[in-house]
Chain A
Amino acid sequence: MRAAASGSGGAFSSGKGLNKVKNRTFTVFVWGISSCIVLFICALLFLILQKGLPHLTWDFIMGLPSEMEEGGGIGPALFNSFYMLVISLAISIPLGMAAGIYLAEFAPSNKLIGFVRICVEGLASVPSIIFGLFGIALFVEMFQIGLTIIGGAVSLAFLNLPVMTRVTEEAIRAVPKEVKQASFALGATHLQTIRRVLVPSAISGIVTGICLVAGRAFGESAVIILTAGVTTSGEMWDFNLLSPGETLAVHLWYVQSEAIVPDAVSISDKAAAVLVFVILMFNVVFRIPLWIKDRKNK
C-alpha cells in the first residue's frame, strides 16, 4: 500500500510536494509517538520486575509482616490473595458461565432479555469501589460479621460475575451454527450439546475471560480494603473464613502509604514485583497453550 501511495506521488509529483511532505511527516510522527509510548510502558513494567525480583527471598515471600521493625514478609497477604482468588472464582465461574450460557442458548429475544443484557453490561461497568460499599452494607451491617475473607471474596465474585457472563456469552455465540446443528442431528440433547460441543469449542474465549477475571481478582484493592480490611490474622495458612483478609495488592498500598516500618520502600518494591509477576504468569500459563492450539488450527 505504501508503494502504491508513494508511486502515485512520484508520477504526479509536480505540485504534490506538500502532500508528500505531510504524509512523510505524519508517518514519522506516528511511528515516533507509538514506539515511545509502548517502550515507555514496557520499561515501567521491566523496572518493577528488575527492582524487586532479584532481591526476593523465601523469608520474604513466606515471612510474617512486621508492624515496627525491618525485615517483614508478605506471607499471609500472599496466601490471602490466592485464597480469596480461589473462593471468588469458585463462585463467579459457575454462576457467570451459567448466566452466559442462558443468554447465548436459552434466552428468547424479547424486551425482557434485552433488559437483562443491559443489566449485565451495566453491572460490568460499575466502579469497583461501589462493590466495596455494597459489601460493607451487606456483610458488615446486615450480617454483622465484620471485615472478613469471605466478605471480600464474595464481593470480588460479584465484581467479576458480569464480566464472566459477557465473555461466556460472546464465546458461545461465536461457535458456528453448523457444529451445533450437527450435534442435534446426532440425537444429542441440548445439555449434551452444550457440555460436549459448545463449551469445548468456545473454551479459548472462556479461558481468556477466566484469565482476565483472575487477574482482576488478584490485583483488586479497593474492594478488599473496604470489605476485608487492611490487616491479616498474623499467621500463615489461616484458612478461617472469618479472619481479616488483607491481600498483596492492599499490602502494597498499605506499606507505601500508611505503615511505619523503616524498610517500606524495599518491601513495596518487592511486593509490586511479586504482584506483576503472578499476573504475567496467569497469562503465560493459561494463554500460551491456547495460542499454540490456535496457531495449529490455522
Chain B
Amino acid sequence: MQLENTAQSTLVGTKSSSTELGGSIKAGSGKKFDRKNRLLFYNRFFKIACIASAAFVCLILFSILFFMFRTGILTFRDVSPMTFFFSSDWSPENESYGAFIFIFGTFALTLLTLLISVPLSVIIAVFLAEIAPKWMRNLLRPVLDLLVGIPSVVYGFLGMTILIPLLRDLTGTNMGDGILAAAIVLTIMVLPTISRISDDAISVVPRKYRDASYALGATRFQTIFKVIIPAARSGIMYAVILGMARAIGETMAVVMVIGNTPQLADALFKPTSVLTSNIVMQIANVPFDSTWNNALYMMGFLLLVISLLMIVIVRLFQRKGAQQ
C-alpha cells in the first residue's frame, strides 16, 4: 500500500511537470479528464467493484441461511421439534413428519463411507508420497486430480448399472440397493479427494524427520507409522473432514443406489433414504407453502448447519496445526 502511494505520487509529479511543458498542445485538445484522473478513477472504480463482489459472496451465504431458516422454521408451527427430530414415521400424506430416519441415514452412510475410504485413501497417499517411483507419482497425481472432476451422476450411473447387479449376485439377496451400495459409490467419489490432500500433507513433512528415523535404524514401515503419519496428522484430518463434507452433501450418486424408501437403515442391504436423497425426490411434487415443503427445507437447513460446523472444525484444526 505504502509503495503504491509513493509510486502514484511519483507518477503524479512527473505528470504535472510534463503538463506544464506540453501546455500549449494540451490546451488545444481541451481535455479536463486527463490521464492522471482517468487512472485514479479506474483504480478507485476497480477497487469498489472488487469490494462489491466480495460483499456479494457473503450476501449469498446469508441469504441462503435466511431463506432456508425462514422456510424451515415454519415446520414447527405444525410439528413439534421432538417429533421432527426423533420420530421415525415419515408419511407426509398422513401429516406425520418424523425425519429421524433421514438424519440417522445420513450419519450412518457418512460413517460407513469413512470407514471404507479413510484407510484406503491413507494407503494411497502413503504410496504416492513415500513409496511410488517418481514417474508413477507424476502420472498418478494428475489422474487423481482428473477423477475429482468426474460428475457425481456418472458415479451413480456406474453404481446402478454395475455395482448393484454385482452385489445382488454376490449376496444372493434380491435387493442390492441400500446403504452399503451407496457407501461404496461414495468411497470411489471421495477417495481421490482425501488421498490427494493427505498426499500433499505427507509430502510437506520435513525430510530431516525421515533421515533421523532411518539413522536410528528404523525400517520404512516403522518410519511411516511412527514418524510420518503422526507428523502429517492435522493435514490428514483436514482431508478426512473435506471428504466427509462431500459425502454428507452428495445427492445424485446416492439417489441412484440407495433405494429411496423411508425406512430405518439398520441393515446393509435395505432400501433406505438420507436427507439429500429425500429432498431431491420429493421437493418437485409438493406445493411451496405446505408443511411437507417446510419440513424438506428444515432438512436442508440441517444439512447446511452440519456443513458449516465442519468448516469451523477445519479452521480449529488449521489453527492448531499452525501453533505446532
Residues on A facing B (Cβ under 8 Å): 1-2, 4-5, 8-9, 12, 19-20, 22-23, 26-27, 30-31, 33-34, 37-38, 41-42, 44-45, 47-48, 94-96, 98-99, 101-103, 105-107, 116, 118-123, 125-134, 136-138, 140-141, 158, 161-162, 165, 181, 184-185, 187-192, 194, 211-212, 215-216, 218-222, 225-226, 230, 249-250, 252-253, 256-257, 265, 268, 272, 275-276, 279-280, 282-283
A-contact 0/1 string along B145-161, CB 8 Å cutoff:
01111111110111011
The docked-state distance in angstroms from the alpha carbon of A283 to that of B148 is: 12
Q: Quick one: CB contact mask for B66-79 with A, threshold 8 Å, 1 for yes?
A: 01100100000000
The interface residues of chain B lying within 8 Å CB-to-CB of A121 are 311, 314-315
B96 within 8 Å of A by Cβ? no
Closest 9 A/B residue pairs (Cβ):
A219-B151, A127-B249, A102-B50, A98-B53, A23-B219, A222-B251, A34-B127, A215-B149, A99-B53
Q: Enumerate chain A residues within 8 angstroms of B123, measured Cβ to Cβ.
A: 30, 33-34
Is A106 a contact of B50 with CB atoms below 8 Å? yes
Chain A residues within 8 Å of B62, by CB: 119
Q: Are B154 and A37 in contact (CB under 8 A)?
A: no
What's the count of A-B pairs with C-beta under 8 Å? 278
Say yes or no: A31 contacts B127, CB within 8 Å. yes
Q: Is the CB of B150 within 8 A of A219?
A: yes
For A268, the chain B residues whose CB sits under 8 A away are 157, 161
A51: nearest chain-B partner, CB-CB = B161
- Name B276's contact: one of A23, A99, A129 (CB within 8 Å): A129
Closest to B188 in A: A41
Closest to B3 in A: A184
Q: Is the CB of A283 within 8 A of B152?
A: no
Inside 8 A of A141's CB, which chain B residues have their CB? 288
Is chain B's binding surface mostly helix, strand, loop or mixed? Answer: helix
| Chain B contact residues, CB within 8 Å of chain A | 3-4, 6-8, 10-11, 14, 39-40, 42-43, 46-47, 49-54, 56-58, 60-64, 67-68, 71, 120, 123-124, 126-128, 131-132, 140, 143, 146-154, 156-158, 160-162, 188, 191-192, 210, 214, 217, 219-222, 224, 242, 245, 248-252, 255-256, 276, 279-280, 283-284, 288, 296-297, 300, 303-304, 307-308, 310-312, 314-315
Alpha-carbon gap, A226 to B39, bound state (A): 45
Which residue, of B4, B128, B251, B256, has the highest number of chain A Cβ atoms within 10 A? B251
Q: Apart from A129-B251, A249-B151, A272-B157, what are 11 other A-B pairs with CB-CB below 8 Å?
A: A31-B131, A95-B56, A123-B61, A137-B71, A185-B3, A187-B14, A189-B39, A194-B46, A212-B149, A219-B149, A256-B160
